[in-house]
Structure 1
Amino acid sequence: MKASDLFVKCLEAEGVERIYGVPGEENADFMMSLQDSSIEFVLTRHEQGAAFMAEVYGRLTGKVGVCLGTLGPGATNLITGVADGNMDRAPMLVLTGQGALTRQHKESHQVMNVVEMYKPVTKWSTAINAASNIPEIVHKAVKLATAEKPGACHIELAEDVAATQTDERPMRAARVRRPVPGDDVIDQVWDRLRSAKTPLIIAGNGAIRTRASAQLRQFCEATGIGALMTFMGKGALDLEDPRCLFTVGMGQRDYPQLAIDAADLILTVGFDPVEYGPEKWNSGCGADIIHMDFAPAESDKYYQPSIEVVGDVAHGLSMLNARAERDGAPRYDLASQTKLRERMQSEFAEHAQDRTTGSIRPQKAVADVRAVLGPDDIVLSGVGAHKMWIARHYQCHAPGTCLISNGFCSMGMPLPGAIAAKHACPDAKVLAVVGDADVMMNVQEMETASRLGSDITVLVWEDKAYGLIAWKQEQEFGEHTDLSFTNPDWMQLCDALDWQGQRCDNAEELQSALQRALDHRGPSMVVIPIDYRENMKLTERLGKITETF
């Protein structure tokens, strides 16, 4: 068979069901081989959109999300989405074409060293220079991409290699069992937990993967210890669980920091420093930390654990659960955590019943999004001021129901990501919350959603400016530079691209507008004027925190 046929068969053998991308001339053989495959090819309008789709598909399913671009500009267009997925720990496989081997040694049209370019933003980047290597390379790439911590792997296939003949066959798909922590280190952790008075858990991205959430919930119930969740750890505990202490990760001091300050021991579970740097919550380097993760702790002067539990997180928690069942729950003073939960609940309730007209407060918008979505429905948040409100105020019942770009923190993910989220979870309602700057980063994927009939809703918070940058500049300098821009006529844009469109200027009507959008079969957009005066009001309120828990 042709090498490109073999490549496709290897992808099939690894369970790949869908590829997002924009092909080029150098992918021609691969695309023709894909025609007779069980793998669906989703044509996107920009390679960055394809990479974000692959990222979200990978984050939600745990399988590799696959994206494709051609050589040169196709490969460079992919890279931002790939970097975002890699740092948000999404299993991804990135496929790019390349000019023939016979011209790679010299200056040649569109040829550049893509493999080297991708090395800093992937777990592994390589080129196929012989058809006989395809089975091993595909097998290794998928294996690495899905191994903890998951991330992106890149494979380049040159046009002349794709056209060669080969007798090779795909390798058998393999999934490796993760190593588990030893009894001795778990005994140390349990002894330390039993001697603590005010322990606290910080649950990160790793706490919502590989069954870890179920074990964490059991552990919190058995011991009574509360858990803060990072932006990418949302849903590790159900929002209604009294041990759920909601979200930590704001760039400034917030009420969750009071619970951290009151803790005499912090157990981090699946914590990833790319989410929320330890210098933010342990600036004095005084916290007693136990690190439980798939990988050893990063070397960071603000994060020096007294015990490191390295191995499968779910298994490690199950070992702690067995000890809690054997010995019973220790006696703790968790009053600070109760106060935090009550304080944050009052924050969430503020403005949730607003009836303002002309503009809508962020708190009201988030409350209404939560009200119209079920426990297993999915929210995707872009990057901007809206991200901070979603991160702080939107709470979850289940893992994987709120996706925020927070490791690499790239704008532009939610619109294309929503398309992939519906592929990954067809029974869930999917709603993307975006700023007007964020959505315009990949607005071309509105056509993709329309063409596919994607049953998604996009809620646009319109302030006609780069709101988060304005917020940050005003915090630091007391003023901000000119960050304003104009927007398209959103309703005309929806009409042109066959979306249902609504504009809602009245806070009292927002919930019903969102419900109409979600009930509509196909893509819908709701646009609201957002009241970002609340940004600095929040900053000023948090800046006046003097209480302790």
Structure 2
Amino acid sequence: MNAADLLVSGLEREGVEHVFGVPGEEMEDLLFSLRDSEVTFVPTRHEQGAAFMADVHGRLTGDAGVCLSTLGPGATNLLTGVADAHLDKSPLVAITAQAALDRLHRESHQTIDVVDAFGPVTKWNTQLSDPDVVHESVRKAFKVAEYEKPGATHLELPEDVAAEETDARPLPSRDRVRIAGPDAEALGRVIDHLEEADRPIVVVGNGAVRTGASDYLRAFVRGTGIPVVSTYMGKGAVSDADHRSLMTLDSGAGGEATEAIAQADLLLAVGFDIAEHDPAEWGHDAPVIHVDSEPAEVSEAYDPVAEVIADIGRTLAALTEWVQGGSGPASDATGGEDSGSDGDSRSEGDSGESPTSFDAEWYVDLRKRIVSDVDREPDPDAEAPFDLRDAIPVMRSAMASEDVLVSDVGSHKMAIAQNFPTYEPNTCIISNGFASMGIAVPGGLAASLATESNVVAATGDGGFLMNAAEMETATRLGCGFTIVVFNDEDYGLISSKQRDHRGEAVGTRLTNPDFVAFAESFGIDGYRPETASDLEDALDDAIGDGMALVEVPVTSAPP
């Protein structure tokens, strides 16, 4: 086989089903190899969209998503989505074509040093300059991308190398390397701090969701009664219906979630990555314990007194065993939902006494204020444009607990993070490491391929038009998901920050096409509700019923 065939055979061995990308002439051999394989090449409308699709696939499944581009401008277009996967810790393998080796030593048409450009946003990347190393490089790309903490890797295939013959054969895929369990000394330091604490709090990050540690975390929270606040990317690790959940950082009209961190006398950070949220904003002076698969980043605002660098779930199971008096592993440490007797994951869960000596009441009023703010009832007589925060509960009520929301970046992201209760892990996908606009529509496509649940892609008018062309890709694939466009004709989050700083905003106003007509031009059902009742009906009709777009006019502050 030639090198392109060998690369594609490696993708087959890794279980890859889709490769997202934009074709180019330098990848001709690779495209024909894909055509003759079990892997489906999905032509997208922009390389950034392709990378976002691979990014969200990796985030939802834990298996590396794969994206593909040609050299030069194709590769640089791909770069933003690759960087998003890198900082969001999502497994992704990027493949780029390159010119023939005999013209890389000089200035040449469309040629830049792509390997060098991808270096800062990948865990590992290389040029495949020899067809006999392709099989090893593919296996390494997936192993490194998927190993905790996951991220992006990159392979560059020059067009002449792609056509060269090789006797090598693809390496078999292997089980991922398992992270070790916690050592007794590190656990002992954590337990010493917990025994001294009166008002501890858990700050849960992306790592708890990503590593599948949610069940262990829920068992630990049940066993201790310690309250939990999540980062934007940790939503759903503990159900927001649990009475110990203080929802998300910044939740509550007065920032009660962050206030809880300031009041706590011990912070147990579980799977927290400093790229998710700046700890300098927490206003705490309590000691921090870091439980993660890698040591904490060095930061004056986040300087742990103890770190347990081990498998997160096994660490939490060991701590739960300690809570139960060393009587053995917690019986429900690998169990399911924090549910009531009816099994509804939105239930408030049990209300039993904590077996520990922690103060079980210190956060109760904070929880009540958060719930009161998040559960506010929209005015049934409201007319468009709507208050953004009034529209979020309507969207929540139209979605089941297991449905997946993919949020773009903007003012709506902040509202979703703070006011969209989440009941299951990996059902609210927010990019808050790199936080790139334009992820929602391609991300919704990837989610619809990766899950059986209904999918909603929530976006602002600014982020929507950055990758709206991927609606054509979605309809071509027969995908079914709902796009909710919050339209204020403004880069609203930037406007808000400018007004906070200077009392006015500049350079943020937009004009938009008719979004309903735009959706219909793709053969997609379009809705533009004018009343609160229309909004509820539109979301109920759209979600779970094929491709649809709901334009939600929302209020915008004056320019």
Common fold by TM > 0.5: yes
Q: Is the 8 A contact 2:252 2:373 kept in 1?
A: no
Q: In the alignment, residue 281 of structure 1 is paired with which amino acid?
A: W
Where structure 1 has 5 or more consecutive residues not aligned to the other structure, the ranges are: 537-549
Partner of 1:364: 390
Shift of 1:350: 2.5
Question: Residues of 1 paired with 2:248 and 2:368: CA distance?
Answer: 13
1:42-441 aligned at under 5 Å gives the runs: 42-174=42-174, 175-248=176-249, 254-282=255-283, 286-326=285-325, 329-425=355-451, 427-441=452-466
Shift of 1:491: 2.0
Structure with the largest fraction of helix: 1
Q: Is the 8 A contact 2:481 2:544 kept in 1?
A: no
Shift of 1:354: 4.1
SS at match of 1:303: coil
Partner of 2:329: none
Partner of 1:543: none
- Structure 1 residue 25 corresponds to structure 2 residue 25: yes
SS at match of 2:324: helix
Question: Residues of 1 paired with 2:416 and 2:237: CA distance?
Answer: 16
Shift of 1:520: 2.5
Q: In the alignment, residue 189 of structure 1 is paired with which amino acid?
A: V
SS at match of 2:57: helix
Question: Residues of 2 paired with 1:115 and 1:389: CA distance?
Answer: 38
Q: Is the 8 A contact 2:250 2:256 kept in 1?
A: no
Question: Residues of 2 paired with 1:378 and 1:493: CA distance?
Answer: 24
Question: Residues of 2 paired with 1:235 and 1:250: CA distance?
Answer: 14
SS at match of 1:125: strand
Q: Is the 8 A contact 1:149 1:295 kept in 2?
A: yes
Where structure 2 has 5 or more consecutive residues not aligned to the other structure, the ranges are: 327-353
Which deviates the most, 169-178 or 298-307? Answer: 169-178
Question: Residues of 1 paired with 2:399 and 2:457: CA distance?
Answer: 12
Shift of 1:381: 0.8
Question: Residues of 1 paired with 2:383 and 2:391: CA distance?
Answer: 13
Partner of 1:501: 526
Question: Residues of 1 paired with 2:51 and 2:511: CA distance?
Answer: 27
Question: Residues of 2 paired with 1:372 and 1:61: CA distance?
Answer: 24
Give the structure-1-normalised TM-score: 0.94
SS at match of 2:486: strand
Q: Is the 8 A contact 1:239 1:396 kept in 2?
A: yes
SS at match of 2:362: helix
Shift of 1:252: 11
Partner of 2:41: 41
Q: Deviations over 1:61-112 (max 9, x none)?
A: 0000000000011101101111111111110000000000111101111111
Count of aligned residue pairs for this structure pair: 531
Q: In the alignment, residue 81 of structure 2 is paired with which amino acid?
A: G
- Alpha-carbon spacing, 1:371–1:253, altered in 2? closer, same or farther (3 Å): closer
Shift of 1:257: 1.9
Question: Residues of 2 paired with 1:383 and 1:233: CA distance?
Answer: 16
- Alpha-carbon spacing, 1:63–1:242, altered in 2? closer, same or farther (3 Å): same
Shift of 1:360: 1.1
Q: Is the 8 A contact 2:252 2:370 kept in 1?
A: no
Question: Residues of 2 paired with 1:232 and 1:132: CA distance?
Answer: 40
Q: Could you list the structure 1 runs, at least 4 aligned residues long, displaced by more than 4 angstroms after superposition.
A: 249-253
* RMSD of aligned alpha carbons: 1.7
Question: Residues of 2 paired with 1:306 and 1:484: CA distance?
Answer: 47
Shift of 1:358: 2.6
Q: In the alignment, residue 304 of structure 1 is paired with which amino acid?
A: D
Q: In the alignment, residue 273 of structure 2 is paired with which amino acid?
A: D
Question: Residues of 2 paired with 1:334 and 1:475: CA distance?
Answer: 37
Question: Residues of 2 paired with 1:315 and 1:205: CA distance?
Answer: 17
Shift of 1:519: 4.2
Partner of 2:336: none
Partner of 1:525: 549
Shift of 1:351: 4.2
Which deviates the most, 243-252 or 186-195? Answer: 243-252
Shift of 1:326: 2.2
SS at match of 1:476: helix
Out of 477, 482, 488, the residue aligned to residue 457 of structure 1 is 482
Q: Is the 8 A contact 1:379 1:431 kept in 2?
A: yes
SS at match of 2:221: helix
SS at match of 1:434: strand
